[in-house]
A = this chain, B = another copy of it.
């Protein structure tokens, strides 16, 4: 069945049109903070309930239990901090004068109002402690750790209200948890499996999706690519979405698949990110969550199957569907995993992103066992990768 949101209630905190207009007219006099892009994404996700039961950025007590126990103060599992760190000196200066209960305007880099913070407290924190808990490392070659260490040691806590979510520029509507839940219900789906991804689809990804769709306890598949802030050299968010649209159009049983982007910055926290991303998908109405090998990993920071085991430690109310690494085997003549393929690894077609990107770059042929031609066609276009300064 469609599970209740994490904590039982879908958080929805949006300013009404009149409240928004009033705050916009008061912008000159309201204390103003300009969060980084990552935090603007989080702000929006809190407001639409993607992070239910969070109603705002975490206070010190919450940060402590999350860091120390992987749970919110009420015991509910929650694996990653959701903080509003102050990176800019002027924001830290603004913060000094805030009194509890005061309203703070949260603006983007065009100084457009994105939401209101109902200031509760300043949250001094140790980035090293937070990094060690969330990412299991303080190595600054880890991209999120580098961000965290560069982001200062002071955050603001408080509930937020957001202005209506922005339309995304990815060509596909970004559903809110309320919208995805309504859509699943209107299709008569009870059990929906979420597919987490952050790259264009290979046949190995499609294999996990199809294998999941064959389950009798799965009515539909929610393909939900994370397309928030990515790294230079990654595929552009709109390219990832176009590639998925091409896949869904040509190869998916359309009445059983919903595609929508999830605009948040990617947390490469391995197991803790897998758990976090599963909780988020529960909020979108999914009761099943596909976990492949080394989900949300980066480099060699995580045991590739730690992201499987963490679901034994924390019951987050969504059934994990844990899969081993998929590959195309020439002897099987199909995609398989070590659970189904008995042949030596020499039969496997290398499905690494690196190799495929190289072939695409050199104009080489991509075997259809690796990449659907419709997807390859999109990835061959010029200017599909993010360049320095694009975001």
Measuring CB to CB, which residues of chain A are less than 8 angstroms from any residue of chain B? Answer: 210-211, 213-216, 251-254, 256, 320-323, 331-342, 368
Contact = CB atoms under 8 A, between A and B. Distances in A.
Nearest to A343: B251
A368 B323 CA distance: 27
Q: Which 5 A-B pairs have the closest CB atoms?
A: A216-B322, A210-B340, A253-B342, A211-B214, A213-B340
Contacts of A211: 211, 214
B251 A332 contact: yes
Given A333-B368, A334-B334, A368-B333, A253 B322 contact: no
Contacts of A336: 210
A251 B342 contact: yes
Contacts of A216: 320-323
A214 B323 CA distance: 7
A263 to B, nearest CB: 27
A216 B323 CA distance: 7
Most chain B beta-carbon contacts within 10 A, residue among A216, A252, A321, A331: A216
A339 B251 contact: no
A214 B212 CA distance: 9
Given A332-B251, A333-B368, A334-B334, A214 B340 contact: yes
A342 B252 contact: yes
A338 B253 contact: yes
12 contacts: A211-B211, A211-B214, A215-B321, A216-B321, A216-B322, A216-B323, A251-B342, A254-B342, A256-B339, A333-B368, A334-B334, A334-B335
Contacts of A321: 215-216
A253 B214 contact: no
A72 to B, nearest CB: 27
A333 B207 CA distance: 12
A191 to B, nearest CB: 13
A202 to B, nearest CB: 14
Contact of A341 (B215, B253, B323, B331): B253
A321 B216 CA distance: 7
A138 to B, nearest CB: 33
Nearest to A255: B342
Contacts of A341: 253
A217 B73 CA distance: 32
A221 to B, nearest CB: 10
A342 B321 CA distance: 23
A338 to B, nearest CB: 7
A214 B337 contact: yes
B213 A339 contact: yes
Contact of A339 (B214, B322, B323): B214
